[in-house]
Amino acid sequence: MAESKEMDILRNTGDAAADELMALLFEKYQHKMGAMLMPILHNFNKTDYNTLDENIVVFFKENSTLPAWYNIKETIRATDYYTRNQQAIGVVLGCYSLPYCYLGEDGARVLGFSGRIKKDTYNRLKETGQYLRKVMNYDHWESGVVFEIILKVRLLHAFWRFMVLKSDKWDSSWGVPINQEDLLGTNLAFSLIVLRGLKKLGHSVDQAYEKAYLHHWAVIGHVLGLCPDLMVFNIKDAIKMDKVIAQRQFKTSEIGQELTHSLMNAYTEATGSKLASEFFKSQSRFLLGEKYANWLGIPESSFPLSVLHAFNKTSSFMSNIYA
């Protein structure tokens, strides 16, 4: 289990295997690398391996592995729990997990680098939702197709890490883009924070499902290239690591507020409803808490909590994106 001092090292650690591949591909394709990779990595449907560079094929084959500690029963339990609670989980992901990630200023800087998360927010969210539907579907684990899906995200991370470092816009004091600390923080946002958010919404979470959910996201982290020492398998360790990251990284920032503003606007534009806009702001403030909501610049809403709680039971909008 990594402590804060170890995080200083991990903040400057990327993903050796994926980073080596990016360096090799750039040497081979130069500035055409992005045009070659993007159509492949943004497509979560089946890929025709005959069209891929042989080095990418080797990477997929070598990294399509499960860890020794993988437990199929935990995956079945976690994906079943997601399926049965997908509407509530959709609300938590959209109003809690994503803005929670924006609290880490240095990690959030990468999200603003390409500009797409701010200019094309809704479509970017739909891609995130498609990814989640794939990794939270047991059939994809049973067939093995999930490896291709997760490894595409891993290579997207490596591509942007390579491009950001190659630019003159990155300060080394921020750490390596999409580093191990930020990967862990994101993993916790989609596991621990989802479980925490469900409890805040009034859902009871059985300890067996709680354990399974963390295990499942640890497996996803393994395939994504997260260091083995950073895996968490129980709530106590997850909370501990979340606190370490929050104390080190969370603060109010311009980029965090910009990303949150784009997120809220995307939800409002998608629904075309002022009422929905008020709901999203109120829901985020409720789930994040006043301090974090203020740091992210989420304005106060007049949406009554009683109505908010009732809306939580009936809204299906977020599940249409994330579930």
Rounded to the nearest 5 degrees, what angle is found at the Cα of 210, between the Cα atoms of 202 and 226?
125
Q: What is the pLDDT of residue 267?
A: 83
Split at pLDDT 50, 70, 90, the class of 113 is confident
Read off the pLDDT of each residue in 48-69 and give the average, rounded to a whole number. Answer: 92
Alpha helices in 235-273 (DSSP H): 235-249, 254-271
Tell me, what DSSP letter sits at residue 94?
I
Bridge partners (DSSP) of residue 250 are 104
Tell me, what DSSP letter sits at residue 46?
-
Report yes or no: 241 and 232 within 8 Å, Cβ to Cβ. Answer: yes
Report yes or no: 283 and 315 within 8 Å, Cβ to Cβ. Answer: no
Bridge partners (DSSP) of residue 2 are none
Model confidence, pTM: 0.92
Express each pLDDT in 221-267 by its tens digit. 999 999 999 999 999 999 999 999 999 999 999 999 999 999 988 88
Distance CA 86, CA 83 (A): 5
Helix (H, G, I), strand (E, B) or coil at 251: coil
Q: How far is CA 250 from CA 240, 245, 247, in A?
A: 15, 7, 6
- Domain ranges in the chain are 4-322
Q: What is the pLDDT of residue 22?
A: 97
Report yes or no: 35 and 204 within 8 Å, Cβ to Cβ. Answer: no
Report yes or no: 216 and 192 within 8 Å, Cβ to Cβ. Answer: no
Residue 83 has pLDDT above 90, yes or no: yes
Helix (H, G, I), strand (E, B) or coil at 104: strand
Express each pLDDT in 260-309 by its tens digit. 999 988 888 877 877 777 888 889 999 999 999 999 999 887 776 666 76
Express each pLDDT in 37-55 by its tens digit. 988 888 888 778 778 899 9
The pLDDT mean for the chain works out to 89
Q: What is the pLDDT of residue 1?
A: 47
Distance CA 264, CA 298 (A): 9
Tell me, what DSSP letter sits at residue 115?
S
Instruction: Tell me the backbone φ, ψ of residue 273, rounded to 5 degrees.
Output: -130, 130
Q: What is the pLDDT of residue 3?
A: 65
For residue 139 the two structure tokens come to 């059939």
Q: How far is CA 314 from CA 110, 136, 177, 282, in A?
A: 35, 22, 39, 16
Q: Which of 120, 107, 102 is nearest to 297 (CA)?
A: 102
Q: What is the pLDDT of residue 114?
A: 66
Express each pLDDT in 177-228 by its tens digit. 999 999 999 999 999 999 999 999 989 899 999 999 999 999 999 999 999 9
Whole-angstrom distance between the N-terminal and C-terminal Cα of the chain? 31
Residue 312 has pLDDT above 70, yes or no: no
Q: Which of 213, 234, 259, 210 is nearest to 105 (CA)?
A: 259
Split at pLDDT 50, 70, 90, the class of 320 is low
Instruction: Tell me the backbone φ, ψ of residue 302, rounded to 5 degrees.
Output: -90, 5
Read off the pLDDT of each residue in 76-102 and give the average, rounded to a whole number. Answer: 94
Q: Quote the distance between the C-alpha of residue 30 and its chain's center.
A: 29
